[in-house]
Structure 1
Amino acid sequence: MTSKRSLTIAIVAGVVLGLDQATKAWALAVLDDRIIDVIWTLRLRLVYNTGIAFSAGRGLGPILALVAVVIVGFLWSSRRRFGGPYAQIGLGCVIGGALGNLADRLVRNAAWGRGAVVDFIDLGWWPVFNVADAAISVGLVFVLVHLYRSERRSDGGSRLAAE
């Protein structure tokens, strides 16, 4: 069971990482000198982020890269706790997204960890983001729902046993 769980998480993480890097390569090739208006406020616009979410923490690249490695390691070692398919998909999305942004930090500059994350999805009313960021956000929702449901099941069982 654990190997199936690990395989599911690894496949999802790999797909997210691949999609993230492919879309970033496209953005770098196409959006370097232009902005593409898509629909309503959605546009595709190339920006570089050397910080964390919402460009906070600029210049902390090596520390952020190290933190990302630790987080990915912790999440991977915690995979046995995520038994349901949605939790596994969520965990794979978070790991894949973290690896996608970590890859940018590692390869987008000659100095280790000082690279900038490529962002290109601009809603106009939200900070510019990328596929990795979206996967992390969606994955966290899946994981939190799983944790909430698990907690409710364990509380319900405890209350029934106590009565």
Structure 2
Amino acid sequence: MVAAVVYALDVVSKLLVVQFLEHKEPTTVIPGVLVLNVIRNPGAAFSIGTGMTIIFTVIAVGVVVAILRTARQLRSLPWAITLGLLLGGAVGNLTDRIFRSPAPLQGHVVDFLQAFPVTGFPVFNLADSAIVCGGILAVFLAWRGYQIDGSRQTGETTDG
């Protein structure tokens, strides 16, 4: 359910942004805090690897498959939310890579959110936000000992 909501919000936001804001000057939403600035990103985060779009497409497919396989063992609500965020975000950006121009499997991801623009913070999208939030949540859950199967490791050992 989380993945479907993230994916739907990402797709709809990108459709609206492309239709109404692409090829226009950036729009300030909150001065100094948030600007809508539409770009097409052929690379990964921070536009790294701009010439490797097809590689990122293959990696994204692998991530989606790994999440779907892991989900079969899922018995934890916090991990379900985490994997939902990661899956929805990965599929959102993967959809751009598969279907957007310039070519199938080489599409550029639509990015449009720029936080703190005066700092040079990168432009991102809702899928990127979900992936980052899912990653942070995964680290937190692992640190606290929460397992995918719903169990919890406390770090304590017993001597027999």
2:16 alignment partner, SS class: helix
Q: How far does residue 94 in structure 1 lie from its aligned partner after superposition?
A: 0.5
CA RMSD, 1 decimal = 1.8
How far apart, CA to CA, are the structure 1 residues paired with 2:113 and 2:102?
25
Aligned residue type for 1:90:
T
Structure 1 segment 9-158 matched on structure 2, within 5 A = 11-32=1-22, 33-41=24-32, 42-109=34-101, 111-123=103-115, 124=117, 125=119, 126-150=121-145, 153-157=152-156
How far apart, CA to CA, are the structure 1 residues paired with 2:41 and 2:55?
15
Note the residue ranges of structure 2 that are not aligned, 5 or more in a row: none
Aligned residue type for 2:4:
G
- Identify, as 1 or 2, the structure richer in helix: 1
Is the 2:112–2:124 Cα contact (8 Å) retained in structure 1?
A: yes
How far apart, CA to CA, are the structure 2 residues paired with 1:141 and 1:70?
20
The verdict on how the C-alpha distance between 1:62 and 1:44 changes in structure 2, with shifts beyond 3 A counting, is same
How far apart, CA to CA, are the structure 2 residues paired with 1:29 and 1:151?
42
Aligned-pair identity in percent equals: 36
The verdict on how the C-alpha distance between 1:81 and 1:144 changes in structure 2, with shifts beyond 3 A counting, is farther
The count of aligned residue pairs is 151
What does the per-residue CA deviation read over 1:82-121, in whole Å, with 9 as the maximum and x for residues that have no partner? Answer: 4321221111000110000000011112522111000000
TM-score, scaled relative to structure 1:
0.85
Note the residue ranges of structure 1 that are not aligned, 5 or more in a row: 1-10
Aligned residue type for 1:93:
L
1:34 alignment partner, SS class: coil
